[in-house]
Amino acid sequence: MARAEAARRGPRLRITGPELDDLAYQAAADALVAIISKLGQFRGESRFTTWACKFAIFEVSAKIGRHFWRHPAVPLDAEDWHRLPARFGFDPAHQAEWGDLFAALRRAVDTELSPRQREIFVAIVLNDVPLDALVMHLGSSRNAIYKMLFDARRKLRAVLAANGYLPDDSSGRS
Amino acid sequence: MNGWPALDRFLRTDPRDVGCEDAMEMLHVYAELVASGEPAEERYPGIAAHLQACGPCGEDFEGLLAALRGEAH
Protein backbone atom coordinates (compact mmCIF):
# COMPACT_ATOMS: atom_id res chain seq x y z
CA MET A 1 0.00 0.00 0.00
CA ALA A 2 2.72 2.48 0.99
CA ARG A 3 4.65 1.55 -2.15
CA ALA A 4 1.61 2.11 -4.36
CA GLU A 5 0.87 5.46 -2.76
CA ALA A 6 4.50 6.57 -2.98
CA ALA A 7 4.52 5.52 -6.63
CA ARG A 8 1.30 7.48 -7.24
CA ARG A 9 2.76 10.68 -5.78
CA GLY A 10 6.48 10.27 -6.43
CA PRO A 11 6.79 11.25 -10.08
CA ARG A 12 4.90 14.51 -9.52
CA LEU A 13 7.31 15.31 -6.70
CA ARG A 14 10.33 14.15 -8.69
CA ILE A 15 11.11 11.41 -6.20
CA THR A 16 12.06 8.23 -8.00
CA GLY A 17 14.23 5.10 -7.86
CA PRO A 18 15.89 4.04 -4.60
CA GLU A 19 14.85 7.27 -2.90
CA LEU A 20 11.21 6.46 -3.56
CA ASP A 21 11.68 2.84 -2.49
CA ASP A 22 13.30 3.96 0.74
CA LEU A 23 10.50 6.44 1.40
CA ALA A 24 7.88 3.73 0.83
CA TYR A 25 9.72 1.26 3.05
CA GLN A 26 10.00 3.75 5.91
CA ALA A 27 6.35 4.72 5.51
CA ALA A 28 5.24 1.07 5.59
CA ALA A 29 7.31 0.36 8.70
CA ASP A 30 5.97 3.40 10.56
CA ALA A 31 2.43 2.68 9.40
CA LEU A 32 2.66 -0.80 10.89
CA VAL A 33 3.73 0.69 14.22
CA ALA A 34 0.85 3.17 14.06
CA ILE A 35 -1.69 0.47 13.21
CA ILE A 36 -0.57 -1.77 16.05
CA SER A 37 -0.64 1.08 18.54
CA LYS A 38 -4.13 2.18 17.42
CA LEU A 39 -5.74 -1.24 17.05
CA GLY A 40 -7.97 -0.55 20.04
CA GLN A 41 -9.37 2.52 18.27
CA PHE A 42 -10.77 0.57 15.32
CA ARG A 43 -14.54 0.81 15.68
CA GLY A 44 -15.63 -1.23 12.69
CA GLU A 45 -17.07 1.77 10.83
CA SER A 46 -15.25 0.68 7.69
CA ARG A 47 -13.43 -2.40 6.53
CA PHE A 48 -10.31 -3.03 8.58
CA THR A 49 -8.12 -2.85 5.48
CA THR A 50 -9.44 0.63 4.61
CA TRP A 51 -8.76 1.82 8.14
CA ALA A 52 -5.25 0.34 8.05
CA CYS A 53 -4.50 1.74 4.57
CA LYS A 54 -5.24 5.19 5.93
CA PHE A 55 -2.18 5.04 8.15
CA ALA A 56 0.04 3.98 5.27
CA ILE A 57 -1.22 7.03 3.34
CA PHE A 58 -0.56 9.32 6.32
CA GLU A 59 2.96 7.99 6.68
CA VAL A 60 3.70 8.52 2.99
CA SER A 61 2.53 12.13 3.39
CA ALA A 62 4.75 12.63 6.41
CA LYS A 63 7.78 11.13 4.68
CA ILE A 64 7.22 13.31 1.62
CA GLY A 65 7.00 16.34 3.90
CA ARG A 66 10.32 15.44 5.45
CA HIS A 67 11.85 14.72 2.06
CA PHE A 68 11.12 18.29 0.93
CA TRP A 69 13.86 19.65 3.17
CA ARG A 70 16.55 17.62 1.41
CA HIS A 71 16.32 19.96 -1.56
CA PRO A 72 14.20 22.98 -0.60
CA ALA A 73 13.46 25.08 -3.66
CA VAL A 74 13.27 28.39 -1.79
CA PRO A 75 14.78 29.59 1.50
CA LEU A 76 12.10 29.63 4.17
CA ASP A 77 12.66 33.31 4.94
CA ALA A 78 12.38 34.46 1.30
CA GLU A 79 9.43 36.70 0.49
CA ASP A 80 8.93 36.87 -3.24
CA TRP A 81 5.80 38.95 -3.57
CA HIS A 82 6.38 39.51 -7.27
CA ARG A 83 5.61 35.89 -8.18
CA LEU A 84 2.35 35.80 -6.26
CA PRO A 85 0.03 37.43 -8.85
CA ALA A 86 1.12 34.97 -11.54
CA ARG A 87 0.48 32.03 -9.23
CA PHE A 88 -3.15 33.07 -9.01
CA GLY A 89 -3.34 33.59 -12.77
CA PHE A 90 -3.14 37.39 -12.92
CA ASP A 91 -1.83 38.60 -16.26
CA PRO A 92 1.27 40.83 -15.91
CA ALA A 93 0.03 42.83 -18.91
CA HIS A 94 -2.91 43.98 -16.80
CA GLN A 95 -1.00 44.95 -13.68
CA ALA A 96 -2.80 48.30 -13.64
CA GLU A 97 -5.98 46.37 -12.82
CA TRP A 98 -4.65 44.26 -9.96
CA GLY A 99 -1.65 46.19 -8.64
CA ASP A 100 -3.69 47.88 -5.91
CA LEU A 101 -5.22 44.55 -4.87
CA PHE A 102 -1.85 42.98 -4.19
CA ALA A 103 -0.59 46.11 -2.45
CA ALA A 104 -3.65 45.88 -0.19
CA LEU A 105 -3.08 42.16 0.33
CA ARG A 106 0.52 42.76 1.31
CA ARG A 107 -0.48 45.53 3.72
CA ALA A 108 -3.08 43.25 5.27
CA VAL A 109 -0.56 40.43 5.67
CA ASP A 110 1.76 42.86 7.46
CA THR A 111 -0.82 44.52 9.66
CA GLU A 112 -3.69 42.09 10.24
CA LEU A 113 -1.98 38.74 10.77
CA SER A 114 -0.30 37.62 13.94
CA PRO A 115 3.45 36.92 13.61
CA ARG A 116 2.75 33.17 13.51
CA GLN A 117 -0.03 33.54 10.92
CA ARG A 118 2.23 35.72 8.83
CA GLU A 119 5.09 33.21 9.04
CA ILE A 120 2.80 30.40 7.86
CA PHE A 121 1.20 32.49 5.12
CA VAL A 122 4.61 33.52 3.76
CA ALA A 123 5.97 29.97 3.84
CA ILE A 124 2.99 28.28 2.20
CA VAL A 125 1.56 30.96 -0.07
CA LEU A 126 4.62 32.99 -1.07
CA ASN A 127 7.37 30.40 -0.84
CA ASP A 128 5.27 27.42 -1.89
CA VAL A 129 6.45 25.25 0.99
CA PRO A 130 4.16 22.19 1.22
CA LEU A 131 2.04 22.23 4.35
CA ASP A 132 3.35 18.85 5.53
CA ALA A 133 6.92 20.07 5.07
CA LEU A 134 6.15 23.10 7.21
CA VAL A 135 4.65 20.81 9.84
CA MET A 136 7.98 18.98 10.01
CA HIS A 137 9.99 22.19 10.12
CA LEU A 138 7.94 23.78 12.89
CA GLY A 139 7.41 20.56 14.85
CA SER A 140 3.69 21.24 14.71
CA SER A 141 0.67 19.33 13.42
CA ARG A 142 -1.15 19.52 10.11
CA ASN A 143 -4.31 20.56 11.93
CA ALA A 144 -2.59 23.42 13.77
CA ILE A 145 -0.91 24.80 10.65
CA TYR A 146 -4.09 24.46 8.60
CA LYS A 147 -6.13 26.25 11.28
CA MET A 148 -3.57 29.05 11.42
CA LEU A 149 -3.72 29.47 7.64
CA PHE A 150 -7.52 29.17 7.69
CA ASP A 151 -7.77 32.06 10.13
CA ALA A 152 -5.27 34.07 8.10
CA ARG A 153 -7.26 33.52 4.90
CA ARG A 154 -10.47 34.58 6.64
CA LYS A 155 -8.90 37.75 8.02
CA LEU A 156 -7.32 38.70 4.70
CA ARG A 157 -10.50 38.13 2.75
CA ALA A 158 -12.49 40.22 5.21
CA VAL A 159 -10.06 43.13 4.81
CA LEU A 160 -10.02 42.89 1.01
CA ALA A 161 -13.81 42.65 0.89
CA ALA A 162 -14.21 45.60 3.27
CA ASN A 163 -12.04 47.65 0.93
CA GLY A 164 -13.98 46.64 -2.17
CA TYR A 165 -11.38 44.35 -3.75
CA LEU A 166 -13.43 41.17 -3.36
CA PRO A 167 -17.19 40.54 -3.15
CA ASP A 168 -18.53 41.32 0.30
CA ASP A 169 -20.70 38.40 1.31
CA SER A 170 -21.29 36.30 4.36
CA SER A 171 -19.95 32.98 3.06
CA GLY A 172 -16.41 33.85 4.16
CA ARG A 173 -17.39 34.00 7.79
CA SER A 174 -16.46 31.30 10.22
CA MET B 1 -5.86 35.31 -17.56
CA ASN B 2 -7.99 36.59 -14.72
CA GLY B 3 -6.84 35.64 -11.25
CA TRP B 4 -9.59 37.29 -9.21
CA PRO B 5 -11.74 34.16 -8.90
CA ALA B 6 -8.69 32.05 -8.02
CA LEU B 7 -7.59 34.45 -5.29
CA ASP B 8 -11.14 34.71 -4.00
CA ARG B 9 -11.47 30.92 -3.91
CA PHE B 10 -8.20 30.60 -2.01
CA LEU B 11 -9.09 33.22 0.61
CA ARG B 12 -12.70 32.14 1.01
CA THR B 13 -13.21 29.90 4.04
CA ASP B 14 -16.10 27.55 4.63
CA PRO B 15 -17.48 27.68 8.16
CA ARG B 16 -18.46 24.00 7.85
CA ASP B 17 -14.79 23.02 7.42
CA VAL B 18 -14.01 20.58 10.25
CA GLY B 19 -10.24 20.86 10.01
CA CYS B 20 -7.58 18.24 9.40
CA GLU B 21 -7.88 16.29 12.62
CA ASP B 22 -11.59 15.53 12.39
CA ALA B 23 -11.43 14.91 8.64
CA MET B 24 -8.56 12.45 8.96
CA GLU B 25 -10.26 10.70 11.87
CA MET B 26 -13.14 9.77 9.58
CA LEU B 27 -11.28 9.56 6.27
CA HIS B 28 -11.62 5.76 5.95
CA VAL B 29 -15.39 5.97 6.45
CA TYR B 30 -15.77 8.89 4.07
CA ALA B 31 -13.63 7.24 1.38
CA GLU B 32 -15.64 4.02 1.52
CA LEU B 33 -18.88 5.98 1.11
CA VAL B 34 -17.47 7.81 -1.92
CA ALA B 35 -16.08 4.60 -3.41
CA SER B 36 -19.45 2.92 -3.09
CA GLY B 37 -21.30 5.85 -4.66
CA GLU B 38 -23.03 6.95 -1.47
CA PRO B 39 -23.73 10.68 -0.90
CA ALA B 40 -20.74 11.23 1.37
CA GLU B 41 -20.85 15.01 0.94
CA GLU B 42 -24.40 15.15 2.25
CA ARG B 43 -23.63 12.96 5.21
CA TYR B 44 -20.36 14.66 6.10
CA PRO B 45 -20.51 18.21 4.69
CA GLY B 46 -17.78 19.41 7.04
CA ILE B 47 -15.37 16.77 5.78
CA ALA B 48 -16.28 17.49 2.17
CA ALA B 49 -15.64 21.20 2.75
CA HIS B 50 -12.31 20.42 4.33
CA LEU B 51 -11.12 18.07 1.60
CA GLN B 52 -11.88 20.74 -1.00
CA ALA B 53 -9.86 23.38 0.83
CA CYS B 54 -6.93 21.43 2.30
CA GLY B 55 -4.45 20.22 -0.29
CA PRO B 56 -2.65 17.65 1.92
CA CYS B 57 -5.85 16.10 3.26
CA GLY B 58 -7.33 16.12 -0.24
CA GLU B 59 -4.25 14.27 -1.45
CA ASP B 60 -4.59 11.69 1.32
CA PHE B 61 -8.22 11.22 0.38
CA GLU B 62 -7.32 10.74 -3.29
CA GLY B 63 -4.70 8.18 -2.29
CA LEU B 64 -7.11 6.19 -0.16
CA LEU B 65 -9.79 6.37 -2.83
CA ALA B 66 -7.30 5.16 -5.45
CA ALA B 67 -6.44 2.23 -3.18
CA LEU B 68 -10.10 1.34 -2.73
CA ARG B 69 -10.81 1.60 -6.43
CA GLY B 70 -7.71 -0.40 -7.23
CA GLU B 71 -8.98 -3.17 -5.00
CA ALA B 72 -12.25 -3.20 -6.88
CA HIS B 73 -10.57 -3.81 -10.24
Q: Give residue A75's pLDDT.
A: 73
- The kind and range of the H/E element at B60 are helix B55-72
Average pLDDT, chain A: 92
Checking if the pLDDT of A174 tops 70, the result is no
Q: Give residue A83's pLDDT.
A: 86
Domains of chain A by range and CATH?
Answer: 2-68 (no CATH), 81-172 (1.10.10)
B12/A172 CB distance under 8 A: yes
In this complex, is the C-beta atom of A3 within 8 Å of any C-beta atom belonging to chain B?
A: no
Residue B31 makes CB contacts below 8 A (sequence gap 6+) with A46, A50, A54, B61, B64, B65, B68
Report the percent of chain A where pLDDT is more than 70: 97
**Mean predicted confidence (pLDDT) in A136-153:** 97
Count H helices, E strands: chain B? 6, 0
Question: A116: pLDDT confidence band, cut at 50, 70 and 90?
Answer: very high
Q: Give residue B72's pLDDT.
A: 59
Closest partner CB to B11 (pick from A1, A146, A153): A153
User: Between these two residues, B4 and A107, which has the higher pLDDT value?
Assistant: A107
Q: Give residue A136's pLDDT.
A: 93
Checking if the pLDDT of A101 tops 90, the result is yes
**Mean predicted confidence (pLDDT) in A33-47:** 97
Across A79-93, A95-109, A133-147, least confident range = A79-93
Checking if the pLDDT of A94 tops 70, the result is yes
Checking if the pLDDT of A74 tops 90, the result is no
3-state secondary structure chain A: CHHHHHHHHHHHHCCCHHHHHHHHHHHHHHHHHHHHHHHHHCCCCCCHHHHHHHHHHHHHHHHHHHHHCCCCCCCCCCCCHHHHHHHCCCCHHHHHHHHHHHHHHHHHHHHHCCHHHHHHHHHHHHCCCCHHHHHHHHCCCHHHHHHHHHHHHHHHHHHHHHCCCCCCCHHHCC
A157/B24 CB distance under 8 A: no
Checking if the pLDDT of A171 tops 60, the result is no
Checking if the pLDDT of A33 tops 80, the result is yes
Tell me which residue of A147, A57, A9, A144 sits closest to B31, measured CA to CA. A57
Task: Please answer whether residues A107 and A81 qualify as being in contact, where contact means their C-beta atoms are separated by less than 8 angstroms.
Answer: no
CA nearest A62 in B: which residue?
B56
Question: A158: pLDDT confidence band, cut at 50, 70 and 90?
Answer: very high
Q: Measure Cα distances from B73 to A51, A57, A69, B69 in Å.
A: 19, 20, 36, 7
pTM for the predicted model, two decimal places: 0.91
ipTM of the assembly?
0.92
Chain A residues in contact with B11 by the CB 8 A cut-off are 153-154, 156-157, 160, 166, 172
Closest partner CB to A91 (pick from B1, B10, B60): B1
In this complex, is the C-beta atom of B54 within 8 Å of any C-beta atom belonging to chain A?
A: yes
Q: Give residue B73's pLDDT.
A: 54
User: CA A60, CA A24: separation in Å to the nearest integer?
Assistant: 7
B28/A143 CB distance under 8 A: no
**Mean predicted confidence (pLDDT) in A88-110:** 93
Checking if the pLDDT of B29 tops 50, the result is yes
Stretch 71-100 of chain A: residues touching chain B, C-beta under 8 Å? 85, 88-91, 98
In this complex, is the C-beta atom of A61 within 8 Å of any C-beta atom belonging to chain B?
A: yes
